[in-house]
Structure 1
Amino acid sequence: MTHDLLLPMTAHVAWTALLYVLLTVARAPAVWGVGRRADGSSPWAAVEPRIGANLSNQFEWPVLFYAACLLLMLLGGVNRWAIGLAWLFMIGRVLHSGVQILTTDIRLRGLVFTINFLAVLGLWATVLAAGWR
């Protein structure tokens, strides 16, 4: 069970890699002229900054997710609860990306971020419990 956190961690790495690909595609019209409209504009102009901002977000709160997962593996504290929280975090990251990239609804984005926030806090509570036993 110790290594069961590797899959949601790897899923987040894959998600982040996918966002890099998406950002590269979104920047292609401006950088390489690929996919430019007839008037020279980029069809991705409105969404490209949101993709970039979301990609930056993948290196903020998720750092605490990785730290908690690694500590749980080292402490032998991986259990079904931790695995569920790790997957909840991953699902929350995908939802958060969708909301941030496809909408400008800050309130909804904050609500969706709460899923990630609570999942990581739950993982850290699990780390504390594992460290005290």
Structure 2
Amino acid sequence: MLTLLLLTMSVWIYMYIRRLSFLFTKGIDAQELQSPQQLQQVIPESVNRPAYNLANLFELPIVFYVLCLLAIFTNNIDASLQYLAWCFVVARIIHSIIHCSYNTVIHRFIPYFVASLCLWSMLIITVLAYL
């Protein structure tokens, strides 16, 4: 969980580095960015990629955090859950690197899909442990 949280923080920092350097370089007044629509009109997609990835890190990873906390609080941590959790995190790191950089969709989709399979497998294992 901590590794995924560190990834989220890193993407957040990178997002601000990209955005602020763009704004300072282009001499854009922050007041021109009052709404998300204005922000998207002023800042190009390539600069906004980390912001899109940051938003993505608050979607499926929320399920990951809940499953991890559930496993910890119920003391239901086995090798398969640990393996799947690490696979999920590594795949999300790869996904973020691709998403924040060159952003080829099929390249980004593969680690996203692998991470999703790991996550849903973690959920199934957790549900089966309670049956």
1:92 counterpart residue number: 91
Which whole-Å CA distance do the structure 2 matches of 1:26 and 1:49 have between them? 8
1:28 aligns with 2:55: no
Q: What amino acid sits opposite 1:29 in the alignment?
A: S
Kindly indicate whether the alpha-carbon contact (under 8 Å) linking 1:75 and 1:131 is maintained by their aligned counterparts in 2. Answer: no
* 1:51-90 pair list within 5 angstroms: 51-90=50-89
TM-score (norm: length of structure 2): 0.80
Q: Give the match for residue 49 of structure 1.
A: 48
Quote the RMSD (CA, aligned, Å). Answer: 2.0
User: 2:2 is paired with a residue of what secondary structure?
Assistant: helix
**RCO comparison, higher one (Cα < 8 Å, 6+):** 1
State yes or no: 1:19 paired with 2:11: yes
Shift of the alpha carbon at 1:30?
4.0
Query: Which 4+ stretches in 1 moved above 3 angstroms?
Result: none
Closer, same or farther: CA 116–41 of 1 in aligned 2, 3 Å: farther
CA distance in 2: counterparts of 1:131 and 1:111, whole angstroms: 31
Stretches of structure 1 that go unaligned for 5 or more consecutive residues are 1-8
Which has more helix, going by share of residues? 2
Is the 1:69–1:123 Cα contact (8 Å) retained in structure 2?
A: no
Do the aligned partners of 1:75 and 1:130 also contact (CA within 8 Å) in 2? no
Aligned pairs, how many?
117
In 2, the alpha carbon distance for the partners of 1:105 and 1:30 equals: 22
- Separation in 1, partners of 2:27, 2:96: 25
Distance 1:57 1:13 in 2: 13
Q: Which amino acid in 1 is paired with 2:6? A: A
